[in-house]
Amino acid sequence: MSFDSQAWLAEARALIGEAHVLSADCGDDLSAYTRDWRNKFEGPALAVLRPADTGEVQAIVRLAARTDVALVPQGGNTGMCGASVPTAGGRQAVLQLGRLNRILELDPENNTATVEAGCILQTLQEQAAAAGRLFPLSLGAEGSCQIGGNIATNAGGVQVLRYGNMRDLVLGLEVVLPDGERLDLLRGLRKDNTGYDLKQLFIGAEGTLGIITAATVKLFPAPGAEAVAFAGVSSIAQAVQLLGAMRGRLGERITAFEVISGAAVDLVRHYFPDTPPLLEGACPWYVLMEASDGGSDEALHEAMQTALMACLEDGCLQDVVLAGNLAQGQALWMLRENITHAQQMDGGNIKHDISLPISRIPAFVEQMLPRLQQAFPGVRPIVYGHLGDGNLHFNVSAPRGVAPAAWQRETDAVNTLLHDVVVAMRGSISAEHGIGQLKRHELALYKTPAELDVMRRIKQALDPQGVMNPGKVL
């Protein structure tokens, strides 16, 4: 039977309102929804649909299932793997969750918040803070990414070391299944052993199994004191040594431990010349660390200072500066957050988001840097990331003079060089960004047949028609 797109759009408009169905046919510019944040992936959309609530999401999913239109769930469209935009094949519509943005309940006694999926991460952080609580997920895109997207990617960020990734923060979910049924798992319980923990299926599934419409997440007491320090180290091995030493001295108070290569700092300085001076001399590697607790700023600063001085004496760091106030701490974090933007401004880079047991990271880095240089002379590795979680963004910028498009053509060769070693060392090729379109072919290479078979059977059981986010992950 032929497909009548005008009739389909009219039906969608009747379900969620004229103003909330955008289409190229009607002259709407869809590029903000059909192109990913990195400008790497773009696909045509029959429409962009912006439902207002779970009922409207159900109605749209039923329409899509009945008419053989695939749906691409989309939050803030800040994902790194092209999972939130349509692929070229078949009829696809973007289901944008931004209008489901209410905080439904904030329960300080239970230390939970129940929010709709389209709530911006920063809004939840701010509302939690106003209630004297902390929602700890924190990442560079927090001003525009959404809780639903954070859950669907199992986002990580800079506080995983202390609070875990998104999966660790989710207690309950509401999901619209690919046949339009509503699955209510929206409970704020820390203990619940009543059979299979179904919510886990949808966390990190990148929208391939259902649409998350709401979640109940954990909150924590807001820390009274924070301290930020920036240390120079002579090698990645010394950074790992420093991690152990600082955690030994300050324990769970260390909330973030980020490693940054000298090349990454130089790149940020080049594109953001206002970056303040940090340490007197240059070091090959740096560490940005943060500690927090419920005491006073003075006491925490003193504890951090004592720990850092002991580390200096013990040879775990070369030089260090402790931020004296909030503004100095924020400037240090700005340097860290600007690495992604500096790389984007610099042109093509091949991104990696690997994880390894922390103990193996020095051996990995020390063997891969020369191997990369040998294979791709003049290449510029921009390595940084969440060392406290064993997660490195081992990004690789083009040799000077090589055009971005030419460098992108080396992606498979660069990936193979790095990922073969990662997998041989029992690491992961995607620690926090996911698979999407970017790493779909690599998933097939690196997962065992048994793992892939179980994943395919789950997909087939929940989405036999292939309504949800085709061409992603599997």
- Residues forming contacts to ligand FAD in the complex (CB under 6 A) are 37, 72-80, 83-84, 97, 117, 139-141, 145-146, 148-150, 152-153, 155-157, 206-207, 211-212, 340, 432-433, 469, 472
Rule CB under 6 A: is residue 340 a binding residue for ligand 2HG?
yes
* Site of tokens 């709709």: 116
Q: Binding partner of residue 212 among ligand 2HG, ligand FAD, none, CB under 5 to 8 Å per kind?
A: ligand FAD
Q: Residues near 71 by Cβ (< 8 Å), separated by ≥ 6?
A: 60, 61, 64, 92, 93, 94, 95, 211, 467, 468, 469
Q: Which helix (H) or strand (E) holds 185?
A: strand 182-185
Could you tell me where the beta strands, DSSP code E, fall in 296-361? 319-322, 349-350, 354-355
DSSP state of 224: S
Shortest distance in whole angstroms from residue 82 CB to ligand FAD: 9
Nearer to ligand 2HG, 135 or 333 (CB): 333
Q: How far is CA 218 from the centre of its chain?
A: 18
Sheet holding 21-22, edge to edge: 21-22, 48-49, 92-96, 70-74
Shortest distance in whole angstroms from residue 151 CB to ligand FAD: 7
Q: Residues near 255 by Cβ (< 8 Å), separated by ≥ 6?
A: 136, 159, 161, 162, 163, 290, 291, 292
Q: Residues near 123 by Cβ (< 8 Å), separated by ≥ 6?
A: 101, 103
Q: Binding partner of residue 351 among ligand FAD, ligand 2HG, none, CB under 5 to 8 Å per kind?
A: ligand 2HG
Rule CB under 6 A: is residue 351 a binding residue for ligand 2HG?
yes
Shortest distance in whole angstroms from residue 343 CB to ligand FAD: 10
Shortest distance in whole angstroms from residue 374 CB to ligand 2HG: 23
Nearer to ligand 2HG, 292 or 395 (CB): 395
Binding mask 289-328 for ligand 2HG (x = CB under 6 A): ----------------------------------------
Q: Binding partner of residue 470 among ligand 2HG, ligand FAD, none, CB under 5 to 8 Å per kind?
A: none
Residue number with the smallest Cβ distance to ligand FAD: 149
Rule CB under 6 A: is residue 261 a binding residue for ligand 2HG?
no
Contacts to ligand 2HG from residues 386-425, by CB under 6 A: 393, 395
Q: Binding partner of residue 134 among ligand 2HG, ligand FAD, none, CB under 5 to 8 Å per kind?
A: none
d(CA 106, CA 118): 16
Q: Which helix (H) or strand (E) holds 173?
A: strand 170-176
Nearer to ligand FAD, 380 or 472 (CB): 472
Residue by residue, DSSP assigns 106-169 as: EETTTTEEEEETT-BHHHHHHHHHHTTEE---B-TTTTT-BHHHHHHTT--BTTHHHH--HHHH
Shortest distance in whole angstroms from residue 340 CB to ligand 2HG: 3
Nearer to ligand 2HG, 253 or 351 (CB): 351
Contacts to ligand 2HG from residues 88-147, by CB under 6 A: 140
Length of the chain: 474
